[in-house]
Amino acid sequence: MNKVYCCFPGGKHKALTMSYDDGRTQDRRLVALFNQYGIKGTFHLNSGFLGDERHVRPDEVRTLYAGHEVACHTVSHPTIARCPLPSVTGEVLSDRQALEALVGYPVRGMSYPNGSVSADIEAMLPACGIRYSRVVGNSDGFGLPENPWRWQATCHHGHRLMELGEQFRALYKRQYLYLMYVWGHSYEFDEGDGWALIEGFCRAMGGREDTWYCTNIALMDCLDDFRRLCFAADNSFVYNPNARDCWLRVNDGEPVCVAAGETLRL
């Protein structure tokens, strides 16, 4: 029987994603760095703050974050675990609606304001159209999310960033899928040598042939596509019912693409 491994797009076995909260004006400089080095990011915005002196303007959201992902962070950034659940629902849905009017696509991601979450909030999010939500803290690891509604990043950019980046670059075993996930707030780079740190990281991590550069929702969509693949009982062929291509590695050979809607003999 064939030994089949799922791969990230292009047959890659490593992925890098970035995640930044609050929609501060420093996002402009951060997005420019990401674009320069081919890094992809997810930007979690509070729609109720857009346009004030510290936050980006509503009219620049679509163009500023083009090629990246805009995601929810609630309308007004409350500590939601202390709030009535109906008001939390309103914060999430209203934020989605406002952001979707700006970007023109379904907003399906979220990060918890102040890292605040409860079991009830977590259970409510899928009904609000949220596919994942990030917590705070550092896992110091490179695994895929086991619970996407309590998704913990590898590290905040102020925590062992270059050290963990070096460890990630050194990973080579293709029987695993590795993910490095960095989070933070762009205004934090104004402190000390923060901008030099993040530019050095982007320079070191960008342009690598073994790495897929993705947004948070692209990573979740890729994993969901994996789960929908339909394999023959003996792994001799596979049907891809998705609207996107999927990639596999068969018997340690070169990666193969299973085109959207097609059946491929392995």
Q: How distant is the alpha carbon of residue 14 from its chain centre?
A: 13
Distance CA 72, CA 132 (A): 10
Q: What share of the chain is helix, strand, coil (3-state, %, to 5)?
A: 40, 25, 40
Residue 179 has pLDDT above 90, yes or no: yes
pLDDT tens-place string over residues 120-174: 999 999 999 999 999 999 999 999 999 999 999 999 999 999 999 999 999 999 8
For residue 230, being part of any structural domain is answered with: no
Distance CA 95, CA 74 (A): 5
Structural domains counted in the chain: 1
The amino acid sitting at 256 is V
Spell out the alpha helix ranges (H) of 38-192.
61-64, 85-103, 119-124, 161-170
- Inter-residue contact 153 to 182 (CB < 8 Å): yes
For residue 234, being part of any structural domain is answered with: no
For residue 184, being part of any structural domain is answered with: yes
Distance CA 147, CA 125 (A): 13
For residue 5, being part of any structural domain is answered with: no
- Inter-residue contact 24 to 91 (CB < 8 Å): no
Mean pLDDT calculated for residue range 19-44:
98
Q: How far is CA 3 from CA 29, 128, 231, 234, 235, in A?
A: 45, 38, 12, 10, 8
Distance CA 95, CA 159 (A): 30
What's the CATH number where 209 sits?
A: 3.20.20.370
Q: How far is CA 208 from CA 12, 16, 87, 94, in A?
A: 10, 10, 44, 39
Mean pLDDT calculated for residue range 175-182:
96
Distance CA 18, CA 34 (A): 9
For residue 94, being part of any structural domain is answered with: yes
- Inter-residue contact 26 to 190 (CB < 8 Å): yes
Q: Which domain holds residue 181?
A: 12-224
Distance CA 83, CA 171 (A): 42
For residue 23, being part of any structural domain is answered with: yes
For residue 210, being part of any structural domain is answered with: yes
- Tokens at residue 228, please? 């929908």
pLDDT tens-place string over residues 54-93: 999 999 999 999 999 999 999 999 999 999 999 999 999 9
For residue 233, being part of any structural domain is answered with: no
Q: How far is CA 55 from CA 103, 161, 216, in A?
A: 16, 26, 22
Q: Comparing C-alpha atoms, which of 33, 259, 226, 223 is closest to residue 143? A: 223
Does the pTM surpass 0.85? The reply is yes
Q: Which helix (H) or strand (E) holds 6?
A: strand 4-7
pLDDT given at position 252:
86
